[in-house]
Amino acid sequence: MRIAIVHGANLRMLGRREPEVYGSDTLEDINRRLHALAEELGVEIEVFQSNSEGAILDYLEEAVPRIDGVLINPGAFTHTSVALRDALAGIDRPFVEVHLSNPAARESFRRRSYLAPVAAGVVAGFRAESYLLALRGLLAHLSRD
């Protein structure tokens, strides 16, 4: 079992980016925790981050033959990208949408997700913990298929 972890726009700045909203963990901290949980659960993960929408689309297309599912925090692409929704809907692999904050409790433009309607599930609002919950959720989803 191999899961792709995708971090989208501006997530490399975690730790110094609006810590009151996103927490003080850096992306490296989150990836470290994900690797530790993956090892505990006996699954492989690979991690990809880009601020470029096109690079994420290219990555998904290239990674799909070797992965079983995707855990993705698209950042602001959540609220803007039909192309990302189409890519995720087209790869025939379940994915979980993850957010550190709870977009539903923030500005109105964050309330629309183009991805959520085609996701296996959404985990939001638990800061770094969201990723760990999402990995467990995705694995539970995959094991019942």
| Residue 85 binding ligand DQA, by CB under 6 A | no
Shortest Cβ distance from residue 68 to ligand DQA (Å)?
Answer: 23
The verdict on 12 binding ligand DQA (CB under 6 A) reads no
Tell me the sheet residues that pair with 95: 70
Among the candidate windows 25-33, 37-45, 95-103, 132-140, which touches ligand DQA by CB under 6 A? 95-103
The C-alpha atoms of residue 23 and residue 14 are separated, in whole angstroms, by 8
Asked about 114 being catalytic, the answer comes back as no
Where do we find the tokens 């290239």? 62
Among the candidate windows 24-32, 37-45, 75-83, 85-93, which touches ligand DQA by CB under 6 A? Answer: 75-83
Query: Is 35 labeled as catalytic in the residue annotation?
Result: no
The 3-state DSSP composition of the chain as helix, strand, coil percent (nearest 5) reads 50, 20, 30
Contacts of 60 by beta carbon, 8 Å cutoff, 6+ apart: 4, 6, 70, 87, 88, 91
- 134: which residues sit within 8 A by CB, 6+ positions away? 71, 96, 98, 121, 123
CB of residue 42 to ligand DQA, shortest distance in Å:
27
Instruction: Please identify, using beta-carbon distances, which residue of 15 and 65 lies nearer to ligand DQA.
Output: 15
For ligand DQA, the binding residues (CB under 6 A) are 9-10, 73, 75-76, 78, 99-101, 103, 110
Residues with active-site annotation: 22, 99
